Structure 1
């Protein structure tokens, strides 16, 4: 009798143990499945190129106002500068990727005339509004703007993005005396510059750009006259930013030489009354 009772207890224990083992195995299988699923999700997220996510955000949040690159057929629809031109203005000044991202995020979060590198665009389209986007989204957009190749068309646009310099019915365009004085002082600084210090070249670039910004943001210039002023400075923006960001004397001297040549055209098209 005792033997039979012992066998019954033993069988019940074994059955319970087997059931527990099956449940544990099922739980483990479920856990492994979830971990694998999470692992795959993480892997996909990690392996998704930042530019892909950033470009998607750029499409959703930036292309509302900005074109990707200049498009003559959509000129009348432009309410902000094309993204490639933003890239071309900021990248020479901030060639380091992290500095570029920080500068873009900072400006987007708090746009101002003091910090813009595109005074001509601000005069034409007005200062962009503050955008209340998530910081991580802005950083992805800025990273994409730094890295994205917008194609070969913008290279043509750089040469002539807003038109050609031309006279006013055969006569020079008339500027205010203070504008001409500022320009003459800038030309003198460029032509008389003499230094072996790279920091001096960089500083000269900043000073010339600041002079250009004052003129471009002058509210008294509008219409065709402003267009011609904008065209002139647009033609030297790359050189001004290049001089600011130059990392060697050779590169700085190259930009300075180009600025000297470009500034020679100024008095051909502009005068004071």
Structure 2
């Protein structure tokens, strides 16, 4: 079986999410990567070094510079004549492109897989992760999104894949890139790749309080900053901080939940973390049911004290 993996990138470097998808794809068969972008040779060179990759297809065209799904999906659909499965990370980008590819191929998408059980058999979460379904496809072509936290990352070095330049249909003419308003993260790690995450909930009252309580602790730990949906909806932080079923799925070494009650929606995004630490003044909060370490305390006293002692 030949698999085609979408490389997520910014035209300069490959994003970590791709490496987990390579591991999933390798369980199905031969792995080919697709780099679709503009002036993206550096990404292609980086992708070719990933261990276990046989070939890197590079579509270098201004139409693919911003990864518009309306332009990239037809390119992928055309390549599926020579591939049996298309895999993408279950990120905002992957979840935007993969359904369009599935529609063009007239097949059912298999979303957010957790494991590969056979050539066409996979497990995936349902009911906000409270149950795991085993699904089998009867389609000739597979379109799959992969939950990155469920698979180890492939080695980024050690491979020597062939790089092949390809053409594509280019601009579909149905959408255009206007602008991007990117959050400035500084040296802080991205949520999906951070080893430590400090998350805050609605109990932090407002954005100023969130910044005052959460940021110093995250700075001391070199951690990424997350938030519950309630905190995002209340406007404390931007929505790219959101951890949960409708936010980012994370599995860091340490996840610190501060003032988060532990709604099912939030737990679905972080319960695979290696060590979960919860600080909440409500001893009956659901977060304590999944926490490895729980502190029943007023976060306004406990967190500054913890930050000071670090």
Q: Work out whether the TM-score is over 0.5.
A: no
Tell me the TM-score normalized by structure 1.
0.25
Larger Rg over CA atoms: 1
Where is the strand percentage greater, Structure 1 or Structure 2?
2
Q: Which has the higher helix share?
A: 1
- TM-score, normalising length: structure 2: 0.23
Greater RCO (Cα-Cα under 8 Å, separation 6 or more): 1
